[in-house]
Amino acid sequence: MSHPLRSRYAALPKAHLHVHLEAAMRESTLRQWCAEDRIEVPPLVDYPDFAQFLDAYGVLIGLLHTPERVEQLLDEVVADAASQGVVALEYASIPEKAAAFGTAEEALEFILPAAAEAGRRHGVWTGAIVSIDRGAGPDHARDAAHLAARFADRGVVAVGLVNDERDGPVAGAAEAFEIARAAGLGVVPHAGEMAGPEEVRAAVELGVDRIQHGVRAVEDPAVVELLVERGTCLDVCPTSNITLGVYPSLERHPLAALLEAGVRCSIGADDPLLFGVDVVDEYALAEERIRVSPERLVECARTSIEASFAPEEVKRGALARL
């Protein structure tokens, strides 16, 4: 990728709304911790199927077994975000996995202030998305939502819904979403990635705030129309979709078509370490390979800021700099 493009998009103020904390680990840090723990470095960038992608993800999670490591991870992730022009970072994680040295409650009590502290150090607003594992059943979903709700005024901004959509439809999390919403939290499930447009429709009908991926809406014009009508933002991560086999190449990715139809989209990197791209690369690749115009990409940055859960003053400051 050309360097002038990278520096242009690094300078663009943006919110990063779709990124999983553990998978935003630096590669140098991964290699160091694997060496310390005497385990093999997982495969990066190449996954024959979703299950093997989740296996690599599991290795990253397994490295986060001390508070010092989680603190270092948060500092590095937020520092990297700052250097990518990110003014607001919404990082997703399953708390008890991202900080595997206590209960879920203790994990959040550690992660949230450490993230806020890193945010102050590097000049980035941070908000946590508590991910519900869609394969872990209704008790887990309810517990995760209640947990997120207890931290609604301490840095948690939303609940998400992650892992393979083929393991459970978005409607299965309806009760968890209600719990989150009653606490004033946002709802931002993954949908329309491994499953088709019917799951995007189901998410919109549940009243979600944004959809992570959502790109397969493009297969049904009525669902595209619904997204436009509701103004629902899709947090799109093109390279993730290629690596996990949703589309054969960036040239065939539907981001340009969705924007052309009037769908609001933010751009994210999903799992930067596992897909070999950061959010700046994703903007540059969208221009170079998906053929989205620079003007539309500035609109994506604007949308990301507007659609984020950051406080109004953070948004106003960032929008003024666009």
Contact residues toward ligand ADE (CB under 6 A) are 20, 162-163, 190, 193, 240, 270-271
- In the complex, least distance from residue 35 CB atom to Zn ion, rounded to whole angstroms: 28
* Radius of gyration of the chain, Cα coordinates, nearest whole angstrom: 18
The CA–CA distances, whole Å, from 16 to 7, 61, 131, 267, 300 equal 17, 21, 16, 7, 11
Which of ligand ADE, Zn ion, none is residue 278 near (CB under 5 to 8 Å by kind)? none
Taking CB under 5 A as the binding criterion, the range among 26-34, 176-184, 267-275, 304-312 that sits at the site for Zn ion is 267-275
Which of Zn ion, ligand ADE, none is residue 287 near (CB under 5 to 8 Å by kind)? none
Q: Identify whether the C-beta of residue 184 lies closer than 8 Å to the C-beta of residue 213.
A: no
Q: Which is nearer to ligand ADE, 162 or 314 (CB)?
A: 162
- Residue nearest Zn ion (C-beta atom): 270
Among 133, 270, 281, 282, binds Zn ion (CB under 5 A): 270
The CA–CA distances, whole Å, from 103 to 98, 107, 113, 147, 274 equal 11, 6, 16, 11, 27
Which of Zn ion, ligand ADE, none is residue 163 near (CB under 5 to 8 Å by kind)? ligand ADE
Which of Zn ion, ligand ADE, none is residue 96 near (CB under 5 to 8 Å by kind)? none
Secondary structure of residue 117 in the 3-state scheme: helix
- In the complex, least distance from residue 293 CB atom to ligand ADE, rounded to whole angstroms: 26
Q: Which is nearer to Zn ion, 44 or 319 (CB)?
A: 44
Q: Which is nearer to Zn ion, 136 or 319 (CB)?
A: 136
Amino acid 78 reads V
Nearest to 127 by CA among 186, 204, 80: 186
- In the complex, least distance from residue 136 CB atom to ligand ADE, rounded to whole angstroms: 13
- Residue nearest ligand ADE (C-beta atom): 162
Q: Which is nearer to ligand ADE, 137 or 184 (CB)?
A: 137
Secondary structure of residue 100 in the 3-state scheme: coil
Take residue 53 and report the two structure tokens written for it: 């992608």
Which of Zn ion, ligand ADE, none is residue 264 near (CB under 5 to 8 Å by kind)? none
CB-facing half-sphere around the CA of 181: CA atoms within 13 A: 12
- In the complex, least distance from residue 101 CB atom to ligand ADE, rounded to whole angstroms: 22
Q: Which is nearer to Zn ion, 270 or 281 (CB)?
A: 270
Q: Identify whether the C-beta of residue 151 lies closer than 8 Å to the C-beta of residue 112.
A: yes
- In the complex, least distance from residue 239 CB atom to ligand ADE, rounded to whole angstroms: 10
Which of Zn ion, ligand ADE, none is residue 14 near (CB under 5 to 8 Å by kind)? none
Taking CB under 5 A as the binding criterion, the range among 36-44, 269-277, 301-309, 312-320 that sits at the site for Zn ion is 269-277
Take residue 195 and report the two structure tokens written for it: 């499953």
Q: Which is nearer to Zn ion, 70 or 161 (CB)?
A: 161
Residue 186's DSSP bridge partners are 158
| Matching residue, tokens 């709700």 | 149
**Total residues in contact with Zn ion, by rule CB under 5 A:** 1
- In the complex, least distance from residue 163 CB atom to ligand ADE, rounded to whole angstroms: 5
Q: Which residue intervals of 155-206 are DSSP H helices?
A: 174-182, 197-205
Give me the active site residues, please.
193
CB-facing half-sphere around the CA of 25: CA atoms within 13 A: 30
Take residue 82 and report the two structure tokens written for it: 């700052």
| Matching residue, tokens 């935003």 | 24
Taking CB under 5 A as the binding criterion, the range among 131-139, 198-206, 249-257, 262-270 that sits at the site for Zn ion is 262-270
Take residue 130 and report the two structure tokens written for it: 């508590």
Q: Which is nearer to ligand ADE, 22 or 287 (CB)?
A: 22
CB atoms within 10 A of CB 167: 13
* Interacting residue ranges for Zn ion, rule: CB under 5 A: 270
